[in-house]
Structure formats: structure tokens, C-alpha cells
Amino acid sequence: MVGNRPGWIRLDPLDPERASIPNENLLIVLTDWFASSGGDELVGHLRQLENVLFIGANTHGNLLSGGIGRTMLPRSRLDVIFGMYLNLRPDLSQFEGVGFMPDLWVHPDYALERTLAFIERYGLAR
């Protein structure tokens, strides 16, 4: 539960086994190296949905810290900006610079074209 709102759960973007969210619709997500930081977090959360297919290349892998905090040092009055939390995989394996692997690896230059062909071939468009 998030805060005091019943029915809401906190999902961990680096622990896709933590929760599974029912989803009846197929969602296809294209990923590549340019999905970084917020993109990594989005992919991590989408990985917890059922019926999501990731096509492309690994994300950037840039999620070690986040939730930007800011304070002013009392004597110098300098602003300090820092990450408020750490994101670690449950098994402490490397994520930074590795990112999330797609379900189907396709070179990013051809990912959209091949994904559209995949959708057409298997009749996935409605």
C-alpha cells in the first residue's frame, strides 16, 4: 500500500518478480540504449505487467539512484543536489550499464520495421 491509499502497492522496477499486475491487452514496447534513467524505470515497471513484449536492445541501465533531493548547506549557503534513494536488484547483480534485456533482441535500426512485420504476420493488430 502506498501511503494510506488502499489498493495501491509500491512496485520495485528492479524486482519484476515482486508483483504481477493483470493485463488482458498485448503491449509491445520497443527498447534500446537510449532508454535511460526514467526510461529504465518505466521499462522496469512495465515488466511487472502481464502480456508485455519487449523488442529491441538492452536499455541503458542507469537506475542506481533517483528521487532528486535538494538542500542548502548551513554555513556556505551552497545548494546540494543528491539522489534520495538507491535501486538495487534483490540479488545485488549488476544493472548499471547493463539495463533490461528485451524478450526479442533486434538491432535498434530495424526494430520498428521488424516489429510491424511481426504484428502483421501473427495477426496481432485489431
Q: How does residue 101 score in pLDDT terms, banded at 50, 70 and 90?
A: very high
The band of 108, judged by pLDDT with boundaries at 50, 70 and 90, is very high
Judging by beta carbons within 10 Å of its beta carbon (0-12, 13-18, 19+), is residue 35 exposed, middle or buried?
A: buried
Res 2: pLDDT: 43
- pLDDT score for 3: 47
Q: What are phi and psi of 42, to 5 degrees?
A: -60, -45
Q: Give domain status of residue 17, yes or no.
A: no
**Total length of the chain:** 126
Query: What is the dihedral angle through the alpha carbons of 117, 122, 123, 126, rounded to the nearest 10 degrees?
Result: -80
Contact 63, 41 (CB under 8 A): yes
Looking up residue 107, the CATH number of its domain turns out to be 3.90.226.10
C-alpha–C-alpha distance, residues 79 and 109, integer Å: 42
Residue 41's H or E segment, with its range, is helix 38-46
- Domain that residue 103 falls in: 27-120
Lowest-pLDDT choice from 27-36, 64-73, 116-125: 64-73
Q: State how many domains the chain has.
A: 1
Question: In this structure, is residue 90 part of a structural domain?
Answer: yes
> In this predicted structure, what is the pLDDT of residue 20?
78
Is the pLDDT confidence value at 14 over 80?
A: no
Is 50 in contact with 73 (CB distance < 8 Å)? no
Question: What is the model's pTM?
Answer: 0.76
Residue 21 lies in a domain: no
Q: What mean pLDDT value characterizes the chain?
A: 85
